[in-house]
Amino acid sequence: MVDRRPKSVHLNEAEREALRAKLRAGINPTHAARALGIDPRTARLEQKRLAANGQAAPPAEPSPADQRRMVGLEDEVKRLRRQLREQQREDLDTEAVRILLGRVAAAPVSPPRWTLQPGKGRGRGTPEVPVTVWSDWHMGEVVSFAETGGKNVYNPEIAAQRVRSLVAATISLARNHGPGDYPGIVVNLLGDFVSGGLHPELAKTDAEEVLPTVLRCVELLAWALRQIADAFGQVYVPCASGNHGRATQKPEFKRYIYKNFDWLIYQLLAREFAGDARLVFDIPDTNEVHYRVFGQRYLAMHGDMLGVKGGDGIIGSLGPIARGETKVGKQASALGLDYDVLVIGHWHQMLWLPRVIVAGTLKGWDEYARSALRAPPAPACQPLWFVHPRRGITSRWEIGVEEPRAGTGEEWVSFRRAA
């Protein structure tokens, strides 16, 4: 039997000279050992001896193809190292924000028990849960009275007035026109609370920069939520960020919420109410909130990421919203997150659809809606509805927040006869 194992360190003179010749020619020690059938360790040891005696061959010049390959590999290594540093920096930045805000933003939040189990009434029947949406406030934006044909005007001062009207009307409707005896209220915060100078014309005409607007909005929302908590006792606050709050020119879908001023507003609010057990803020990293009010399943999001675009001059936003709800519903079902009602803002139009509730806007009708969309004037409003544990949604309200116009002095009801 022939022994095919590599020979050990002990070589005869002819083998040693053959090995040295290959090494002096610049052949790799491993390749030289393989060609001679000897142990690679022997070849490496012999190369060290030649190098010590100054007899080692100079390194062979790489071919042009090898040079190009090496340059490409060096560039790839630099790119990967840069990407790793940026990723580590983003991780540190995100963690720093969370530490600064004094809470872990990604911590899961469960809807409070009162949204799932009806409590006992106090003589006024089965208690229901009021649900509202606050979205598309566009704080900082200015809408011109003249450029909307006298139909609307908006600025930071008017925004504050409308928020006060919204809070007062919500409490009044629930007390005087709703079923009463509420275990709590759900207030969906669905984004676009700041204009953000998102478009060039907004950057030119907004009343103030985005950071002062953020602070103004936090102060106003904190006041509003405190009034709501005083009136209803318990408040569950699902939160989703909108497109106007983003700090990037175009949407970036990775780490979306961490580059969004709406998210910052929610975190500051959560810190503001950290010691108040009446308010529960739900701010998931997915930017979509799934929750239930009794047996009715809700999915709350801003509404800009329905997977659809555009509309037309005939049906307006109905087409894209209907198509988008179908796509969102299919995805949610595939993920095991089926819902009964999709709650969104974004479209600046109050709509009550079979499976979708679309909130209006605090800002109201603006120059873009008038001149670009040719949309009819829509009132500034936010929705309110009541959920019964057995009957589902029992009543719906559109809370108008514009200043009422002076009366005309006409009778409380009138009619016209045909000529």
Is residue 28 domain-shared with residue 165, that is, in the same domain?
A: no
Task: Report how far residue 13's alpha carbon sits from residue 216's, in angstroms, rounded to the nearest whole number.
Answer: 90
Confidence of residue 37 (pLDDT cuts 50, 70, 90): confident
pLDDT at 419 over 70: no
Q: Which of 316, 111, 289, 321 is nearest to 189 (CA)?
A: 289
Residues 331-342 have a mean pLDDT of: 96
| ∠ CA 235-189-381, rounded to 5° | 105
Residues 353-370 have a mean pLDDT of: 93
Is residue 30 domain-shared with residue 132, that is, in the same domain?
A: no
Helices 156-176, 210-232: axis angle to 10 degrees equals 10
Predicted pLDDT of residue 133: 98
Task: Report how far residue 93's alpha carbon sits from residue 219's, in angstroms, rounded to the nearest whole number.
Answer: 25
| ∠ CA 188-194-198, rounded to 5° | 125
Q: Secondary structure of 268-285 in the HEC alphabet?
A: HHHHHCCCCCCEEEECCC
Q: Does the residue 156 lie in any domain?
A: yes
User: What type of residue is 82?
Assistant: R
Is residue 43 domain-shared with residue 116, that is, in the same domain?
A: no
Confidence of residue 100 (pLDDT cuts 50, 70, 90): low
Q: Does the residue 318 lie in any domain?
A: yes
Q: Does the residue 385 lie in any domain?
A: yes
Domain with 228 in it? 112-400
List the single range of 79-83, 166-170, 238-242, 267-271 with lowest mean pLDDT.
79-83
Q: Does the residue 185 lie in any domain?
A: yes
Q: Which of 110, 28, 36 is nearest to 62 (CA)?
A: 28
How many domains, the chain?
2
Is residue 170 domain-shared with residue 282, that is, in the same domain?
A: yes
Is residue 39 domain-shared with residue 120, that is, in the same domain?
A: no
Q: Do residues 358 and 349 lie in contact, with contact meaning Cβ atoms separated by under 8 Å?
A: yes
pLDDT at 140 over 90: yes
Question: 147-175: per-residue pLDDT in tens?
Answer: 999 999 999 999 999 999 999 999 999 99
Predicted pLDDT of residue 416: 66
Predicted pLDDT of residue 108: 56
Task: Report how far residue 61's alpha carbon sits from residue 90's, in angstroms, rounded to the nearest whole number.
Answer: 42
Highest mean pLDDT pick, 8-22, 105-119, 201-215, 352-366: 352-366
112 CB neighbour count, 10 Å cutoff: 20
Q: Does the residue 72 lie in any domain?
A: no
Predicted pLDDT of residue 96: 62
pLDDT at 339 over 80: yes
Is residue 380 domain-shared with residue 301, that is, in the same domain?
A: yes
Predicted pLDDT of residue 304: 92
* 3-state SS class at 65: helix
Q: Secondary structure of 139-178 in the HEC alphabet?
A: ECCCECCCCCCCCCCECHHHHHHHHHHHHHHHHHHHHHCC
Predicted pLDDT of residue 179: 85
Average pLDDT, the chain: 85
Is residue 145 domain-shared with residue 265, that is, in the same domain?
A: yes
Confidence of residue 107 (pLDDT cuts 50, 70, 90): low
Q: Does the residue 94 lie in any domain?
A: no
pLDDT at 275 over 70: yes
Is residue 382 domain-shared with residue 237, that is, in the same domain?
A: yes
Distance of CA 27 to the CA centre of its chain: 58
Q: Does the residue 102 lie in any domain?
A: no
Is residue 356 domain-shared with residue 207, that is, in the same domain?
A: yes
Question: 299-308: per-residue pLDDT in tens?
Answer: 999 999 999 8
Question: 227-258: per-residue pLDDT in tens?
Answer: 999 999 999 999 999 999 888 888 888 888 88
Confidence of residue 14 (pLDDT cuts 50, 70, 90): confident
Q: What percent of the chain has pLDDT over 90?
A: 49
> DSSP class of residue 375?
P
Is residue 122 domain-shared with residue 44, that is, in the same domain?
A: no
Is residue 251 domain-shared with residue 354, that is, in the same domain?
A: yes
Q: Does the residue 413 lie in any domain?
A: no
Predicted pLDDT of residue 5: 45
Return the structure tokens found at 394: 């029992």
Is residue 19 domain-shared with residue 132, that is, in the same domain?
A: no
Predicted pLDDT of residue 85: 73
Domain of residue 181, CATH code: 3.60.21
